[in-house]
Homo-oligomer: A and B are copies of this chain.
Amino acid sequence: MSHQIITTKPKARINDYVSVDCVIFGFDFTQLNVLLVDRVLKDELTAREKFNDLTLTGNHIYEDEDLEAAAARILFDLTGLKDIYLEQFHTFGSPQRITRENDKAWLAANGRDPDQRIITVGYYSLLATDKVTLEWKGRNVRWFPVSEVKELAFDHMEILNEALTALRKKLLQEPIGFELLPPKFTLSQLQRLYEVVLGISLDKRNFRKKVSRMKYLVALDEKQKGVAHKPARLYVFDREIYENTRKELFDFAI
């Protein structure tokens, strides 16, 4: 949904009926987080808070923008980061998208027609949590552990859940997990990533056995620095080896 952005030149939206919503996932070596924005509605007369809840980050599409460019702009406005992994996962357009009173009141307070259907194109992105300085145009932006998010404004809980499903699926099929890790990582960090995103426990020995078969995970002659425990070996993901090995594969996983 829309969060107003103040720019020096006013840009024209392509229309009021389409938006882009970003589900920004972050990994902090312990848990999977999602970036959420505070939504506060105050009573115009009393200035008393009517409600205070959370939304995903979204915006309209401007005239010169492709959908993905709009998503990248939202990400940049929020984090100052460019060239972040972005994946369009689903477009939401149910007639029942906006049904709750808070959501209708919020739209009305922002000069919008609560009964107008808005189609929103969902993107998810992946980054390392510590990369982001969190502040956004006067509103509070915070990381929340995905497992603790139980309710969001509009249909954003559905959007978050769909994004998570799409992310899990993709994680099992393509090497996107490395987007959530630093360039050099330990096998424990990699294992933790899979456990956290998929919500499962993995047996360490089996995991190492699987990993040892992945030629594109290259062990460096280098170890962790500045850790309290015994430093572990560092690995890198070699995309070239990955691409070359994949060509020989034919999954046929029906």
Contacts and interface: CB of A to CB of B under 8 A. Distances in A.
A121 interface: yes
A175 B14 CA distance: 39
A123 to B, nearest CB: 10
Chain A contact-residue range equals 35 or more
Contacts of A214: 254
A64 B95 contact: yes
Interface in A103-127: 117, 119, 121
Interface in A162-188: 171-175, 177
A15 B172 contact: no
Contacts of A194: 252
B17 A95 contact: no
A177 B254 contact: yes
Copies of this protein chain in the complex: 2
Given A67-B91, A95-B66, A253 B173 contact: yes
A251 B173 contact: yes
Contacts of A210: 252
Interface in A42-65: 61, 63-65
Interface class of chain A by DSSP = loop
Contact of A88 (B91, B95, B177, B254): B91
A15 to B, nearest CB: 5
A224 B40 CA distance: 67
A219 interface: no
A83 to B, nearest CB: 19
B119 A18 contact: yes
Nearest to A17: B15
A253 B168 CA distance: 12
Nearest to A90: B88
A93 interface: yes
Given A17-B14, A173-B251, A252-B194, A67 B93 contact: yes
A94 interface: yes
Contacts of A200: 250
Given A65-B95, A95-B65, A175 B15 contact: no
21 contacts: A14-B17, A14-B117, A15-B15, A17-B17, A17-B18, A61-B93, A63-B95, A63-B117, A66-B93, A66-B95, A67-B92, A67-B93, A67-B94, A93-B121, A119-B119, A119-B121, A172-B253, A173-B251, A200-B250, A210-B252, A251-B253
Across the A-B interface, the 3 shortest Cβ-Cβ residue pairs = A67-B93, A91-B91, A14-B117
